[in-house]
Structure 1
Amino acid sequence: MNKVISYYNQFDEWGRLDREPVEFQVNWHYIKNFLPAKGHISDIGAGPGKYSMELAKHGYNVTLADLSPRLVDLAKEKAIEQDLSYKFNNFMVADARELRMLDSDQFDASLMLGPMYHIQDESDRIKAINELNRITKRGGLVFVAFMSRIRHIFTSLLYPKHWKPNDNMETINHFSQKGCFDHSDEGRFTGAYYFNIEKIRPFMESQGFESLELLGSNVGAILTEESWSYWEEKGEEKEVIKFLIDKAADPYLLGISTHLLYIGRKK
Protein backbone atom coordinates (compact mmCIF):
# COMPACT_ATOMS: atom_id res chain seq x y z
CA MET A 1 0.00 0.00 0.00
CA ASN A 2 3.04 2.31 0.01
CA LYS A 3 2.44 3.13 -3.66
CA VAL A 4 -1.12 4.18 -2.84
CA ILE A 5 0.14 6.51 -0.10
CA SER A 6 2.81 7.92 -2.43
CA TYR A 7 0.29 8.53 -5.18
CA TYR A 8 -2.14 10.44 -2.96
CA ASN A 9 0.72 12.41 -1.43
CA GLN A 10 1.04 14.19 -4.78
CA PHE A 11 -2.51 13.95 -6.16
CA ASP A 12 -5.24 16.56 -5.56
CA GLU A 13 -8.17 14.29 -4.63
CA TRP A 14 -10.24 17.15 -3.22
CA GLY A 15 -9.75 19.01 -6.48
CA ARG A 16 -10.67 15.93 -8.53
CA LEU A 17 -14.18 15.98 -7.12
CA ASP A 18 -14.36 19.71 -7.85
CA ARG A 19 -13.20 19.09 -11.42
CA GLU A 20 -15.66 16.20 -11.78
CA PRO A 21 -18.63 17.60 -9.83
CA VAL A 22 -21.23 15.27 -11.31
CA GLU A 23 -19.77 12.25 -9.51
CA PHE A 24 -19.99 14.00 -6.16
CA GLN A 25 -23.47 15.37 -6.81
CA VAL A 26 -24.85 12.00 -7.92
CA ASN A 27 -23.32 10.14 -4.99
CA TRP A 28 -24.41 12.73 -2.44
CA HIS A 29 -27.97 12.79 -3.80
CA TYR A 30 -28.36 9.05 -3.20
CA ILE A 31 -26.39 8.92 0.04
CA LYS A 32 -28.53 11.70 1.49
CA ASN A 33 -31.76 10.03 0.37
CA PHE A 34 -30.87 6.67 1.94
CA LEU A 35 -29.28 7.84 5.21
CA PRO A 36 -31.25 7.93 8.47
CA ALA A 37 -32.16 11.41 9.69
CA LYS A 38 -29.33 11.38 12.24
CA GLY A 39 -26.56 9.15 13.50
CA HIS A 40 -22.86 8.35 13.68
CA ILE A 41 -21.29 7.71 10.26
CA SER A 42 -17.89 6.23 9.42
CA ASP A 43 -16.08 7.36 6.28
CA ILE A 44 -13.42 4.73 5.56
CA GLY A 45 -10.88 5.61 2.89
CA ALA A 46 -12.23 9.15 3.11
CA GLY A 47 -9.30 10.89 1.45
CA PRO A 48 -9.40 14.60 2.28
CA GLY A 49 -12.96 14.26 3.56
CA LYS A 50 -15.16 15.75 0.84
CA TYR A 51 -18.11 13.51 1.78
CA SER A 52 -17.34 13.72 5.49
CA MET A 53 -17.65 17.49 5.41
CA GLU A 54 -21.02 17.23 3.72
CA LEU A 55 -22.17 14.70 6.31
CA ALA A 56 -21.04 17.00 9.12
CA LYS A 57 -22.83 19.98 7.54
CA HIS A 58 -26.04 17.94 7.59
CA GLY A 59 -25.73 17.22 11.31
CA TYR A 60 -24.17 13.75 11.36
CA ASN A 61 -21.37 12.77 13.72
CA VAL A 62 -18.46 11.49 11.65
CA THR A 63 -15.43 9.26 12.17
CA LEU A 64 -12.95 9.69 9.32
CA ALA A 65 -10.21 7.22 8.38
CA ASP A 66 -7.75 7.05 5.51
CA LEU A 67 -4.54 5.24 4.66
CA SER A 68 -2.70 8.48 3.84
CA PRO A 69 -1.46 10.58 6.79
CA ARG A 70 -1.32 13.61 4.46
CA LEU A 71 -4.97 13.29 3.50
CA VAL A 72 -6.07 12.80 7.11
CA ASP A 73 -4.22 16.00 8.04
CA LEU A 74 -5.85 17.77 5.09
CA ALA A 75 -9.28 16.59 6.27
CA LYS A 76 -8.58 18.03 9.71
CA GLU A 77 -7.67 21.35 8.07
CA LYS A 78 -10.86 21.34 5.99
CA ALA A 79 -12.96 20.66 9.08
CA ILE A 80 -11.34 23.60 10.89
CA GLU A 81 -11.76 25.88 7.85
CA GLN A 82 -15.45 25.04 7.65
CA ASP A 83 -16.01 25.18 11.42
CA LEU A 84 -17.05 21.51 11.49
CA SER A 85 -14.47 19.98 13.82
CA TYR A 86 -17.04 19.56 16.59
CA LYS A 87 -18.97 17.08 14.40
CA PHE A 88 -15.98 14.74 14.04
CA ASN A 89 -15.43 12.04 16.64
CA ASN A 90 -12.03 11.15 15.22
CA PHE A 91 -9.57 11.52 12.36
CA MET A 92 -7.56 8.32 11.97
CA VAL A 93 -4.80 6.92 9.78
CA ALA A 94 -6.02 3.39 9.10
CA ASP A 95 -5.99 0.57 6.58
CA ALA A 96 -9.52 -0.46 5.51
CA ARG A 97 -8.50 -4.11 5.88
CA GLU A 98 -7.74 -3.71 9.58
CA LEU A 99 -9.90 -1.36 11.64
CA ARG A 100 -9.16 -2.78 15.08
CA MET A 101 -9.31 0.71 16.62
CA LEU A 102 -13.05 0.81 15.85
CA ASP A 103 -15.61 -1.09 17.90
CA SER A 104 -18.03 -3.58 16.35
CA ASP A 105 -21.61 -2.48 15.62
CA GLN A 106 -20.64 1.14 16.19
CA PHE A 107 -21.98 3.07 13.19
CA ASP A 108 -25.47 3.77 11.90
CA ALA A 109 -24.03 3.90 8.37
CA SER A 110 -20.62 3.53 6.76
CA LEU A 111 -18.99 4.86 3.62
CA MET A 112 -16.14 3.11 1.81
CA LEU A 113 -15.69 5.18 -1.34
CA GLY A 114 -12.02 4.52 -2.14
CA PRO A 115 -10.47 1.29 -0.85
CA MET A 116 -12.09 -1.08 -3.34
CA TYR A 117 -10.25 0.71 -6.15
CA HIS A 118 -6.84 -0.08 -4.78
CA ILE A 119 -7.06 -3.55 -3.25
CA GLN A 120 -5.99 -5.95 -5.96
CA ASP A 121 -5.99 -9.16 -3.94
CA GLU A 122 -9.41 -10.78 -3.50
CA SER A 123 -8.76 -11.99 0.05
CA ASP A 124 -7.84 -8.42 1.04
CA ARG A 125 -11.00 -7.05 -0.56
CA ILE A 126 -12.98 -9.52 1.52
CA LYS A 127 -11.11 -8.41 4.65
CA ALA A 128 -12.02 -4.79 3.99
CA ILE A 129 -15.69 -5.54 3.41
CA ASN A 130 -15.78 -7.81 6.48
CA GLU A 131 -14.41 -4.90 8.53
CA LEU A 132 -17.07 -2.64 7.04
CA ASN A 133 -19.68 -5.18 8.09
CA ARG A 134 -18.22 -5.52 11.59
CA ILE A 135 -18.17 -1.82 12.45
CA THR A 136 -21.67 -1.13 11.08
CA LYS A 137 -24.74 -1.73 13.22
CA ARG A 138 -27.18 -4.45 12.21
CA GLY A 139 -29.62 -2.85 9.80
CA GLY A 140 -27.16 -0.06 9.12
CA LEU A 141 -26.49 1.20 5.62
CA VAL A 142 -23.25 0.96 3.65
CA PHE A 143 -22.12 2.92 0.61
CA VAL A 144 -19.25 1.33 -1.32
CA ALA A 145 -17.61 2.63 -4.51
CA PHE A 146 -16.28 0.40 -7.27
CA MET A 147 -14.67 1.00 -10.65
CA SER A 148 -16.13 -0.57 -13.78
CA ARG A 149 -13.97 -3.02 -15.72
CA ILE A 150 -15.86 -2.72 -19.00
CA ARG A 151 -15.69 1.08 -18.90
CA HIS A 152 -11.91 0.95 -18.36
CA ILE A 153 -11.56 -1.40 -21.32
CA PHE A 154 -13.32 1.08 -23.60
CA THR A 155 -11.37 3.98 -22.09
CA SER A 156 -8.19 2.07 -22.96
CA LEU A 157 -9.45 1.49 -26.50
CA LEU A 158 -10.24 5.20 -26.84
CA TYR A 159 -6.99 6.48 -25.34
CA PRO A 160 -4.42 3.66 -25.53
CA LYS A 161 -1.37 5.92 -25.19
CA HIS A 162 -2.82 7.37 -22.02
CA TRP A 163 -3.47 4.02 -20.33
CA LYS A 164 -0.32 1.97 -20.86
CA PRO A 165 0.17 -0.99 -20.72
CA ASN A 166 -3.40 -1.21 -22.09
CA ASP A 167 -2.13 -0.01 -25.47
CA ASN A 168 -2.35 -3.39 -27.18
CA MET A 169 -5.07 -6.01 -27.42
CA GLU A 170 -3.11 -8.77 -25.71
CA THR A 171 -2.82 -6.70 -22.52
CA ILE A 172 -6.41 -5.48 -22.76
CA ASN A 173 -7.69 -9.04 -23.11
CA HIS A 174 -5.62 -10.06 -20.07
CA PHE A 175 -7.03 -7.12 -18.10
CA SER A 176 -10.54 -8.15 -19.18
CA GLN A 177 -10.01 -11.49 -17.45
CA LYS A 178 -8.16 -10.35 -14.31
CA GLY A 179 -9.34 -6.80 -13.60
CA CYS A 180 -5.99 -5.66 -12.17
CA PHE A 181 -4.32 -2.62 -13.68
CA ASP A 182 -0.85 -1.21 -12.99
CA HIS A 183 -0.01 1.89 -14.97
CA SER A 184 3.29 1.74 -16.86
CA ASP A 185 3.93 5.48 -16.60
CA GLU A 186 5.55 6.60 -13.36
CA GLY A 187 3.35 8.75 -11.15
CA ARG A 188 0.09 7.85 -12.90
CA PHE A 189 -2.93 6.20 -11.26
CA THR A 190 -1.68 3.55 -8.85
CA GLY A 191 -2.35 -0.19 -8.95
CA ALA A 192 -6.09 -0.70 -9.14
CA TYR A 193 -8.82 -3.32 -9.36
CA TYR A 194 -11.86 -3.00 -11.61
CA PHE A 195 -15.02 -5.05 -11.01
CA ASN A 196 -17.27 -6.72 -13.51
CA ILE A 197 -20.58 -4.98 -12.84
CA GLU A 198 -22.58 -8.18 -12.53
CA LYS A 199 -20.23 -9.40 -9.76
CA ILE A 200 -20.70 -6.46 -7.38
CA ARG A 201 -24.07 -7.37 -5.84
CA PRO A 202 -23.15 -11.07 -5.33
CA PHE A 203 -19.81 -10.05 -3.81
CA MET A 204 -21.43 -7.75 -1.26
CA GLU A 205 -24.29 -10.14 -0.53
CA SER A 206 -21.81 -12.95 0.16
CA GLN A 207 -20.30 -10.75 2.89
CA GLY A 208 -23.59 -10.23 4.74
CA PHE A 209 -25.32 -7.33 3.04
CA GLU A 210 -28.74 -6.90 1.48
CA SER A 211 -28.44 -5.05 -1.84
CA LEU A 212 -30.59 -1.94 -2.13
CA GLU A 213 -29.18 -0.08 -5.14
CA LEU A 214 -26.33 -0.01 -7.63
CA LEU A 215 -25.84 3.17 -9.60
CA GLY A 216 -23.45 4.88 -11.98
CA SER A 217 -21.81 7.78 -10.16
CA ASN A 218 -20.72 9.51 -13.34
CA VAL A 219 -22.58 8.27 -16.40
CA GLY A 220 -21.88 11.80 -17.65
CA ALA A 221 -18.23 10.80 -18.11
CA ILE A 222 -19.21 9.91 -21.65
CA LEU A 223 -19.74 13.63 -22.36
CA THR A 224 -16.81 15.61 -23.73
CA GLU A 225 -15.61 19.05 -22.63
CA GLU A 226 -17.16 20.40 -25.84
CA SER A 227 -20.50 18.85 -24.86
CA TRP A 228 -20.41 20.38 -21.38
CA SER A 229 -19.46 23.77 -22.85
CA TYR A 230 -22.49 23.61 -25.12
CA TRP A 231 -24.93 22.94 -22.27
CA GLU A 232 -23.28 25.56 -20.06
CA GLU A 233 -23.60 28.18 -22.82
CA LYS A 234 -27.26 27.25 -23.27
CA GLY A 235 -27.79 27.69 -19.54
CA GLU A 236 -29.03 24.10 -19.19
CA GLU A 237 -26.14 22.53 -17.28
CA LYS A 238 -28.28 22.07 -14.13
CA GLU A 239 -30.97 20.30 -16.17
CA VAL A 240 -28.35 17.95 -17.63
CA ILE A 241 -27.00 17.13 -14.15
CA LYS A 242 -30.53 16.48 -12.87
CA PHE A 243 -31.07 14.13 -15.81
CA LEU A 244 -27.83 12.26 -15.00
CA ILE A 245 -28.86 11.97 -11.34
CA ASP A 246 -32.27 10.61 -12.35
CA LYS A 247 -30.69 8.08 -14.74
CA ALA A 248 -27.85 7.00 -12.44
CA ALA A 249 -29.64 3.83 -11.29
CA ASP A 250 -30.69 2.75 -14.79
CA PRO A 251 -29.05 -0.70 -15.13
CA TYR A 252 -28.65 -0.21 -18.87
CA LEU A 253 -26.32 2.76 -18.28
CA LEU A 254 -24.01 1.34 -15.61
CA GLY A 255 -21.39 0.27 -18.13
CA ILE A 256 -20.68 3.82 -19.31
CA SER A 257 -19.89 5.07 -15.79
CA THR A 258 -16.28 4.90 -14.60
CA HIS A 259 -17.36 4.78 -10.94
CA LEU A 260 -20.21 2.82 -9.39
CA LEU A 261 -21.91 3.23 -6.03
CA TYR A 262 -23.30 0.20 -4.18
CA ILE A 263 -25.87 0.83 -1.46
CA GLY A 264 -26.66 -2.00 0.94
CA ARG A 265 -27.92 -2.85 4.38
CA LYS A 266 -26.19 -5.05 6.95
CA LYS A 267 -28.31 -8.13 7.63
Structure 2
Amino acid sequence: MSKIINYYNQFDEWGRLEREPIEFQVNWHYIKKYMPENGCILDNGAGPGKYAMELAKDGYKVTLTDLTPRLVEVAKNKAKELDIEGCFEGFYTADARELTMIKDAQFDSSLMLGPMYHLQEEDDRIKAVKELKRVTKNGGLVFVAFMPRVRHILTSLLFPENWRPNDNLDTINQFSKTGCFNHAEEGRFTGAYYFNIEDINPFMESQGFETLDLIGSNVGAILNNDSWNYWRGKGDEEVTKIINLLKEKATDPYILGISSHLLYIGRKK
Protein backbone atom coordinates (compact mmCIF):
# COMPACT_ATOMS: atom_id res chain seq x y z
CA MET A 1 0.00 0.00 0.00
CA SER A 2 2.99 2.34 0.31
CA LYS A 3 2.90 3.36 -3.38
CA ILE A 4 -0.80 4.12 -3.08
CA ILE A 5 -0.23 6.25 0.03
CA ASN A 6 2.61 8.06 -1.74
CA TYR A 7 0.36 8.73 -4.73
CA TYR A 8 -2.42 10.23 -2.63
CA ASN A 9 0.09 12.19 -0.57
CA GLN A 10 0.96 14.20 -3.68
CA PHE A 11 -2.37 14.06 -5.55
CA ASP A 12 -5.08 16.71 -5.07
CA GLU A 13 -8.16 14.48 -4.69
CA TRP A 14 -10.33 17.35 -3.44
CA GLY A 15 -9.30 19.35 -6.48
CA ARG A 16 -10.07 16.40 -8.79
CA LEU A 17 -13.71 16.41 -7.69
CA GLU A 18 -13.79 20.19 -8.17
CA ARG A 19 -12.30 19.85 -11.67
CA GLU A 20 -14.59 16.92 -12.53
CA PRO A 21 -17.82 18.04 -10.84
CA ILE A 22 -20.08 15.66 -12.76
CA GLU A 23 -18.92 12.64 -10.75
CA PHE A 24 -19.60 14.36 -7.44
CA GLN A 25 -22.95 15.80 -8.50
CA VAL A 26 -24.24 12.50 -9.90
CA ASN A 27 -23.07 10.51 -6.86
CA TRP A 28 -24.49 13.11 -4.47
CA HIS A 29 -27.85 13.04 -6.28
CA TYR A 30 -28.18 9.28 -5.76
CA ILE A 31 -26.71 9.26 -2.26
CA LYS A 32 -29.35 11.76 -1.19
CA LYS A 33 -32.07 9.90 -3.09
CA TYR A 34 -31.49 6.75 -1.05
CA MET A 35 -30.02 8.08 2.20
CA PRO A 36 -32.27 8.31 5.27
CA GLU A 37 -33.02 11.88 6.38
CA ASN A 38 -30.73 11.59 9.42
CA GLY A 39 -28.43 9.18 11.20
CA CYS A 40 -24.83 8.10 11.71
CA ILE A 41 -22.75 7.77 8.55
CA LEU A 42 -19.35 6.23 7.87
CA ASP A 43 -17.27 7.69 5.03
CA ASN A 44 -14.68 4.92 4.69
CA GLY A 45 -11.70 5.69 2.45
CA ALA A 46 -12.96 9.26 2.33
CA GLY A 47 -9.79 10.94 1.11
CA PRO A 48 -10.00 14.62 2.05
CA GLY A 49 -13.70 14.26 2.87
CA LYS A 50 -15.58 15.90 0.02
CA TYR A 51 -18.67 13.76 0.59
CA ALA A 52 -18.23 13.70 4.37
CA MET A 53 -18.34 17.51 4.51
CA GLU A 54 -21.59 17.65 2.55
CA LEU A 55 -23.14 14.98 4.77
CA ALA A 56 -22.07 16.89 7.88
CA LYS A 57 -23.54 20.11 6.49
CA ASP A 58 -26.83 18.25 6.06
CA GLY A 59 -26.85 17.34 9.74
CA TYR A 60 -25.65 13.72 9.67
CA LYS A 61 -23.24 12.46 12.33
CA VAL A 62 -20.18 11.45 10.31
CA THR A 63 -17.16 9.25 11.00
CA LEU A 64 -14.31 9.55 8.50
CA THR A 65 -11.53 7.09 7.73
CA ASP A 66 -8.76 6.99 5.17
CA LEU A 67 -5.55 5.06 4.57
CA THR A 68 -3.48 8.21 3.97
CA PRO A 69 -2.64 10.19 7.13
CA ARG A 70 -2.19 13.45 5.21
CA LEU A 71 -5.72 13.25 3.78
CA VAL A 72 -7.19 12.61 7.23
CA GLU A 73 -5.48 15.81 8.39
CA VAL A 74 -6.81 17.67 5.33
CA ALA A 75 -10.31 16.48 6.24
CA LYS A 76 -9.93 17.63 9.86
CA ASN A 77 -8.81 21.05 8.66
CA LYS A 78 -11.69 21.27 6.17
CA ALA A 79 -14.17 20.52 8.95
CA LYS A 80 -12.64 23.31 11.06
CA GLU A 81 -12.63 25.70 8.13
CA LEU A 82 -16.32 24.99 7.46
CA ASP A 83 -17.19 25.14 11.18
CA ILE A 84 -18.78 21.67 11.16
CA GLU A 85 -16.37 19.84 13.49
CA GLY A 86 -19.26 19.12 15.84
CA CYS A 87 -20.94 16.95 13.22
CA PHE A 88 -17.99 14.54 13.12
CA GLU A 89 -17.66 11.67 15.57
CA GLY A 90 -14.10 10.83 14.59
CA PHE A 91 -11.30 11.09 12.03
CA TYR A 92 -9.23 7.92 11.70
CA THR A 93 -6.26 6.74 9.68
CA ALA A 94 -7.38 3.22 8.84
CA ASP A 95 -7.17 0.43 6.29
CA ALA A 96 -10.63 -0.40 4.90
CA ARG A 97 -9.89 -4.08 5.50
CA GLU A 98 -9.40 -3.58 9.25
CA LEU A 99 -11.69 -1.01 10.88
CA THR A 100 -10.68 -2.17 14.34
CA MET A 101 -11.59 1.12 16.03
CA ILE A 102 -15.24 0.83 14.95
CA LYS A 103 -17.87 -1.28 16.72
CA ASP A 104 -20.29 -3.64 15.01
CA ALA A 105 -23.54 -2.30 13.52
CA GLN A 106 -22.74 1.32 14.30
CA PHE A 107 -23.87 3.13 11.13
CA ASP A 108 -27.19 3.74 9.44
CA SER A 109 -25.36 4.13 6.11
CA SER A 110 -21.76 3.57 5.00
CA LEU A 111 -19.82 4.96 2.05
CA MET A 112 -16.73 3.32 0.55
CA LEU A 113 -15.88 5.44 -2.47
CA GLY A 114 -12.21 4.63 -2.97
CA PRO A 115 -10.76 1.51 -1.35
CA MET A 116 -12.11 -0.93 -3.95
CA TYR A 117 -10.02 0.85 -6.59
CA HIS A 118 -6.82 -0.46 -5.06
CA LEU A 119 -7.45 -3.97 -3.72
CA GLN A 120 -5.98 -6.24 -6.37
CA GLU A 121 -6.45 -9.51 -4.45
CA GLU A 122 -9.94 -10.96 -4.17
CA ASP A 123 -9.38 -11.88 -0.52
CA ASP A 124 -8.65 -8.22 0.26
CA ARG A 125 -11.74 -7.03 -1.60
CA ILE A 126 -13.85 -9.47 0.38
CA LYS A 127 -12.25 -8.32 3.66
CA ALA A 128 -13.07 -4.68 2.91
CA VAL A 129 -16.69 -5.44 2.05
CA LYS A 130 -17.08 -7.70 5.09
CA GLU A 131 -15.80 -4.88 7.31
CA LEU A 132 -18.23 -2.46 5.69
CA LYS A 133 -21.04 -4.92 6.38
CA ARG A 134 -19.90 -5.49 9.96
CA VAL A 135 -20.01 -1.81 10.93
CA THR A 136 -23.34 -1.12 9.16
CA LYS A 137 -26.66 -1.72 10.90
CA ASN A 138 -29.02 -4.43 9.64
CA GLY A 139 -31.07 -2.86 6.87
CA GLY A 140 -28.52 -0.06 6.52
CA LEU A 141 -27.45 1.29 3.15
CA VAL A 142 -24.01 1.05 1.57
CA PHE A 143 -22.59 3.10 -1.28
CA VAL A 144 -19.51 1.50 -2.85
CA ALA A 145 -17.49 2.85 -5.80
CA PHE A 146 -15.93 0.66 -8.47
CA MET A 147 -13.98 1.26 -11.67
CA PRO A 148 -15.17 -0.58 -14.81
CA ARG A 149 -12.57 -2.65 -16.67
CA VAL A 150 -13.90 -1.96 -20.15
CA ARG A 151 -13.60 1.79 -19.64
CA HIS A 152 -9.90 1.48 -18.79
CA ILE A 153 -9.36 -0.66 -21.88
CA LEU A 154 -10.89 2.09 -24.00
CA THR A 155 -8.91 4.79 -22.17
CA SER A 156 -5.69 2.83 -22.77
CA LEU A 157 -6.50 2.60 -26.48
CA LEU A 158 -7.24 6.33 -26.62
CA PHE A 159 -4.21 7.50 -24.60
CA PRO A 160 -1.64 4.67 -24.64
CA GLU A 161 1.34 6.80 -23.65
CA ASN A 162 -0.49 8.06 -20.54
CA TRP A 163 -1.21 4.52 -19.33
CA ARG A 164 1.99 2.55 -19.84
CA PRO A 165 2.46 -0.41 -19.80
CA ASN A 166 -0.97 -0.44 -21.53
CA ASP A 167 0.68 1.01 -24.65
CA ASN A 168 0.57 -2.27 -26.55
CA LEU A 169 -2.17 -4.80 -27.25
CA ASP A 170 -0.50 -7.73 -25.49
CA THR A 171 -0.51 -5.84 -22.18
CA ILE A 172 -4.03 -4.52 -22.73
CA ASN A 173 -5.25 -8.06 -23.41
CA GLN A 174 -3.58 -9.25 -20.22
CA PHE A 175 -5.21 -6.42 -18.27
CA SER A 176 -8.54 -7.41 -19.79
CA LYS A 177 -8.19 -10.82 -18.13
CA THR A 178 -6.91 -9.75 -14.71
CA GLY A 179 -8.27 -6.24 -14.11
CA CYS A 180 -5.00 -5.35 -12.36
CA PHE A 181 -3.13 -2.24 -13.43
CA ASN A 182 0.30 -1.16 -12.21
CA HIS A 183 1.59 2.01 -13.84
CA ALA A 184 5.04 1.81 -15.41
CA GLU A 185 5.83 5.36 -14.26
CA GLU A 186 6.54 6.26 -10.63
CA GLY A 187 4.09 8.62 -9.01
CA ARG A 188 1.17 7.81 -11.30
CA PHE A 189 -2.19 6.17 -10.47
CA THR A 190 -1.22 2.58 -9.74
CA GLY A 191 -1.94 -0.58 -7.78
CA ALA A 192 -5.44 -0.48 -9.24
CA TYR A 193 -8.19 -3.02 -9.76
CA TYR A 194 -11.00 -2.69 -12.31
CA PHE A 195 -14.15 -4.84 -12.17
CA ASN A 196 -16.08 -6.41 -14.99
CA ILE A 197 -19.42 -4.64 -14.69
CA GLU A 198 -21.45 -7.85 -14.71
CA ASP A 199 -19.51 -9.08 -11.65
CA ILE A 200 -20.24 -6.13 -9.34
CA ASN A 201 -23.81 -6.91 -8.23
CA PRO A 202 -23.16 -10.65 -7.73
CA PHE A 203 -19.98 -9.86 -5.77
CA MET A 204 -21.80 -7.56 -3.36
CA GLU A 205 -24.80 -9.87 -3.09
CA SER A 206 -22.51 -12.79 -2.22
CA GLN A 207 -21.32 -10.75 0.79
CA GLY A 208 -24.82 -10.22 2.17
CA PHE A 209 -26.21 -7.15 0.40
CA GLU A 210 -29.41 -6.57 -1.52
CA THR A 211 -28.75 -4.57 -4.70
CA LEU A 212 -30.77 -1.38 -5.06
CA ASP A 213 -28.96 0.31 -7.94
CA LEU A 214 -25.74 0.51 -9.96
CA ILE A 215 -25.05 3.86 -11.59
CA GLY A 216 -22.48 5.46 -13.86
CA SER A 217 -21.00 8.24 -11.74
CA ASN A 218 -19.20 9.93 -14.60
CA VAL A 219 -20.63 9.11 -18.00
CA GLY A 220 -19.62 12.69 -18.81
CA ALA A 221 -15.98 11.53 -18.84
CA ILE A 222 -16.42 10.88 -22.58
CA LEU A 223 -16.74 14.64 -23.15
CA ASN A 224 -13.40 16.33 -23.82
CA ASN A 225 -12.47 19.95 -23.11
CA ASP A 226 -13.63 21.11 -26.53
CA SER A 227 -17.04 19.53 -25.94
CA TRP A 228 -17.41 21.18 -22.54
CA ASN A 229 -16.23 24.53 -23.88
CA TYR A 230 -18.95 24.33 -26.56
CA TRP A 231 -21.72 23.67 -24.04
CA ARG A 232 -20.40 26.19 -21.52
CA GLY A 233 -20.48 28.74 -24.30
CA LYS A 234 -24.24 28.29 -24.43
CA GLY A 235 -24.57 29.41 -20.81
CA ASP A 236 -25.11 28.01 -17.33
CA GLU A 237 -28.69 26.95 -18.03
CA GLU A 238 -27.54 24.64 -20.81
CA VAL A 239 -24.80 23.14 -18.60
CA THR A 240 -27.39 22.49 -15.87
CA LYS A 241 -29.53 20.66 -18.44
CA ILE A 242 -26.56 18.48 -19.38
CA ILE A 243 -25.86 17.61 -15.73
CA ASN A 244 -29.52 16.71 -15.22
CA LEU A 245 -29.42 14.55 -18.35
CA LEU A 246 -26.34 12.72 -17.07
CA LYS A 247 -28.02 12.17 -13.69
CA GLU A 248 -31.04 10.70 -15.47
CA LYS A 249 -28.95 8.46 -17.73
CA ALA A 250 -26.65 7.32 -14.91
CA THR A 251 -28.85 4.28 -14.22
CA ASP A 252 -28.97 3.13 -17.87
CA PRO A 253 -27.16 -0.25 -17.80
CA TYR A 254 -26.22 0.06 -21.46
CA ILE A 255 -23.86 2.98 -20.86
CA LEU A 256 -22.20 1.96 -17.58
CA GLY A 257 -19.05 0.95 -19.46
CA ILE A 258 -18.30 4.47 -20.64
CA SER A 259 -18.31 5.88 -17.12
CA SER A 260 -14.92 6.17 -15.40
CA HIS A 261 -16.49 5.27 -12.02
CA LEU A 262 -19.54 3.32 -10.92
CA LEU A 263 -21.56 3.57 -7.71
CA TYR A 264 -23.15 0.47 -6.21
CA ILE A 265 -26.06 1.10 -3.85
CA GLY A 266 -27.18 -1.76 -1.63
CA ARG A 267 -28.83 -2.69 1.64
CA LYS A 268 -27.37 -4.94 4.32
CA LYS A 269 -29.59 -7.99 4.70
TM superposition score category, shorter chain reference: over 0.9
Structure 1 equivalent of residue 15 of structure 2: 15
Q: 1:255 aligned to 2:257?
A: yes
* Counterpart for residue 202 of structure 1: 202
TM-score (norm: length of structure 2): 0.99
Within 5 Å, give how 1:23-102 maps onto structure 2: 23-102=23-102
Name the Cα RMSD after superposition: 0.4
Which contiguous aligned blocks of 4+ residues in structure 1 show a shift greater than 6 angstroms?
Answer: none
**Distance between the aligned counterparts of 1:234 and 1:7, measured in 2?**
37
Give me the whole-angstrom Cα distance separating, in 1, the residues matched to 2:136 and 2:3. 29
Q: 2:246 maps to which residue?
A: 244
User: Residue in 2 aligned with 1:218?
Assistant: 218
Amino acid at match of 1:248: A
Identity %: 69
Q: Secondary structure at the match of 1:102?
A: coil
Amino acid at match of 1:212: L
What is the SS of the residue equivalent to 1:186? coil
Name the SS of the counterpart of 2:214 in structure 1: strand
The 1-side partners of 2:81 and 2:140 are apart by 30
Deviation at 1:41, TM superposition (A): 0.1
Distance 1:166 1:2 in 2: 22
Give the C-alpha shift of residue 218 in structure 1.
0.2
Matched AA of 1:256 = I
- CA deviations 1:157-202 (Å, max 9, x no partner) are 0111110000000000000000000000111102100000000000
Counterpart CA distance in 2 for 1:209 and 1:133 is 8
Residue 230 of structure 1 aligns with an amino acid whose one-letter code is: Y
Counterparts of 2:20 and 2:183 in 1: how far apart (Å)?
21
Q: CA deviation at 1:81?
A: 0.4
Provide the C-alpha distance between the structure 2 equivalents of 1:161 and 1:6, rounded to a whole number of angstroms: 22
In 1, Cα distance between the equivalents of 2:115 and 2:106? 20
Which residue is 2:147 aligned to?
A: 147
Amino acid of the residue matched to residue 120 of structure 1? Q
Letter in 2 for 1:167: D
Q: CA deviation at 1:209?
A: 0.2
* Shift in Å, 1:211: 0.2
- AA matched with 1:189: F
Question: What amino acid does structure 2 have at the position aligned with 1:209?
Answer: F
CA distance in 2 between partners of 1:234 and 1:129 (Å): 44
Secondary structure in 1 matching 2:129: helix
Which residue number corresponds to residue 182 of structure 2?
182
Q: Which residue of the partner structure matches residue 158 of structure 2?
A: 158
Partner of 2:132: 132
The one-letter code of the counterpart of 2:119 is I
Q: How many Å separate the matches in 1 of 2:66 and 2:9?
A: 12
What secondary structure sits across from 2:62 in the alignment? strand
The CA distance in 1 between the partners of 2:176 and 2:5, in whole Å, is 26
Deviations 1:126-145 (A, max 9, x none): 00000000000000000000
Q: Provide the C-alpha distance between the structure 1 equivalents of 2:140 and 2:190, rounded to a whole number of angstroms.
A: 31
SS of the residue corresponding to residue 47 of structure 1 reads coil
Alignment partner of 2:96: what SS? Answer: coil
Unaligned stretches of 5+ residues in structure 2: none
Partner residue, 1:167: 167
